[in-house]
Amino acid sequence: QSVLTQPPSASGTPGQRVTISCSGTSSNIGGNSVNWYQHLPGTAPKLLIYSTNQRPSGVPDRFSGSKSGTSASLAINGLQSEDEADYYCAAWDDSLNGSVFGGGTKLTVL
């Protein structure tokens, strides 16, 4: 059971907008920034969003992050076939004094 809660799956057609939610508590998302990672099996995970809504250099602006209270969201606009991957949210947890990940969301592009 992960500390951060994500839907196990999401899907969309090319060009669509898809959002992935991440629910936590006041000790993690509520009080700290959220990070999002993209992971394709057999490869190194990739940082997609840091500090809740910042994109690292090279990440397309189709990807955006937001937070409200103890929940965060990753939005993908203009969905592309290469976006098919697993997506994870993560945040520092002040109560656990460590980092926590969501269980991951498998995104399928139909």
Which residues lie near another protein (CB under 8 A)?
Answer: 2, 32-33, 35, 37, 39, 43-47, 50-51, 56, 86, 88, 90, 92, 96-104
Closer residue to another protein (CB): 9 or 16: 9
Closer residue to another protein (CB): 78 or 98: 98
Task: Tell me whether residue 101 is exposed, middle or buried, using C-beta atoms within 10 angstroms of its C-beta: 0 to 12, 13 to 18, 19 or more.
Answer: middle
Give least dist CB 70 to another protein, A: 18
CA–CA dist 37, 39 (Å, integer): 6
Of 47, 40, 21, nearest to 81 (Cα)? 40
